[in-house]
Amino acid sequence: MRIEHWSWKRPLSEASWKAELELLLARCLFDASRAAALLDRYRTESGLTLDALCFGDKLAGLAGWRMMQEAEPDETITAPGKVELLHLAVAPEFERQGIGTVLLHQVLQKSGAAVLVAETDAEAVAFYRRTGCTIINLGEKYPGKERFRCELRPYASRTAEDLDFEAIALWPQSREEAYYLFPSGSWPLDADELRERAAIRQFPTVLLDAAGLRAAYANIFEFEGQLWIGNVIVNPIFRGKGAAQGLLLELCRLAEEQLGAHELYLICHNPNTRALLLYNGLGWEPCGLKRMNGPDGVPLAGIKMRKELKARGHFIKV
């Protein structure tokens, strides 16, 4: 599928798409019979927006959204407000091509919001986690129905520069965190050591928030014929805000598109439970164990994890 065949359209201006739009909206609803009424709401209600991603003259997916009035309390975010994703659907013939992810990021970019917010159920929450969303369990809002709040923030990436390492060296909050980032490094961390390590690795990458603040860092290296992600660290003020997910997604993209990789590996240390759960939720699977000495000399397990890289729709950057 070639890039030039994809386009964004305002589907409500296409009268011939009414039946297709209703079918797609029905996929978002518990009661499919409400699709026609919902489409009328998008046509008539102020503040509601419906966007569609098309392949040629075919409707591939749609996203319905509105701006929220709730203020964003995080002072590190300067973009205005939040956008609420109301409906997201992909046509059956275009599933598993990364279109849902593209739709999410298009809504975030087009709205100019600081945060995209969506609410979903247990069946769909894995999709939102894979796209880089932070997930908050809301419990059973309805009897027997567990609900989740998903938040996605806009992050950009660039190659790490010399001055970045001075800041990154200050991010670990303990000797243990410094060890997870750089097992052979000194404590406190030395910026020159990080800089020297980055110089012999590929894609030393810094993730930036909407205000240009450094949010996370990692790189890629080759070892024994395999490609690995290393030196993963998140700025403390961005932890729990999707920065780790965004960074991992970006490095997976670079490995796949720039290096032609089909899989990536990393090591996560067994005391780092939070990271283990994060990696597992993003599709990384344990595939080995390495005995290591921790920062205090006590043995610990370095859990080797593998991520299979698949086509995730990067061809539809439009």
Average pLDDT over residues 33-62: 92
147 and 183 within one domain:
no
Angle between helices 35-44 and 18-26 (to 10 degrees): 110
Asked if residue 215 and residue 122 are part of one domain, the reply reads no
CB–CB of 203/237 below 8 Å?
A: no
User: What rounded mean pLDDT belongs to the chain?
Assistant: 88
> In whole angstroms, what is the distance from residue 299 CA to residue 276 CA?
18
Q: Is residue 147 located within the same domain as residue 201?
A: no
| In a shared domain, residues 169 and 140 | no
**Domain boundary, last residue among 152, 174, 205:** 152
Co-location of 143 and 80 in the same domain: yes
Evaluate if residue 76 carries a pLDDT over 70: no
Residues 6+ apart with CB under 8 A from 138: 119, 146, 147, 148, 149
Q: What is the pLDDT of residues 213-263, one digit of tens each?
A: 999 999 999 999 999 999 999 999 999 888 998 899 899 989 999 999 999
Q: Are 305 and 184 within one domain?
A: yes
Residue 11's pLDDT band, with cuts at 50, 70 and 90, is: confident
- Put simply, whether the predicted model's pTM sits higher than 0.95 gets the answer no
Do 174 and 290 fall into the same domain? Answer: yes
Mean pLDDT of 19-27: 93
Per-residue confidence band for 5, with pLDDT thresholds at 50, 70 and 90:
low
- pLDDT reported for residue 79: 41
Domain count, the chain: 2
Residues 118 and 139 in one domain: yes
pLDDT at residue 77, rounded to an integer: 39
Given a cut of 80, whether residue 87 has pLDDT beyond it is: yes
Residues 203 and 233 in one domain: yes
Angstrom distances, CA of residue 240 to CA of 132, 168, 235, 244, 274 = 11, 18, 10, 8, 10
Please report, for the domain that includes residue 21, its CATH number.
3.40.630.30
From 127, 152, 177, the end of a domain falls on 152
Q: Show the domain range for 287.
A: 156-316
Do residues 285 and 235 both lie within one domain?
yes
Domain end point (choices 102, 119, 152): 152
Same domain (yes/no): 292, 235: yes
To the nearest 10 degrees (0 to 180), the angle between helices 243-259 and 273-281 is 50
- The predicted-structure confidence for 125-174, as pLDDT tens digits, reads as follows 999 998 888 899 999 887 888 999 999 988 889 999 999 999 999 999 99
State how far the Cα of 249 lies from the Cα of 207, in Å rounded to an integer: 11
Does 194 lie in the same domain as 136? Answer: no
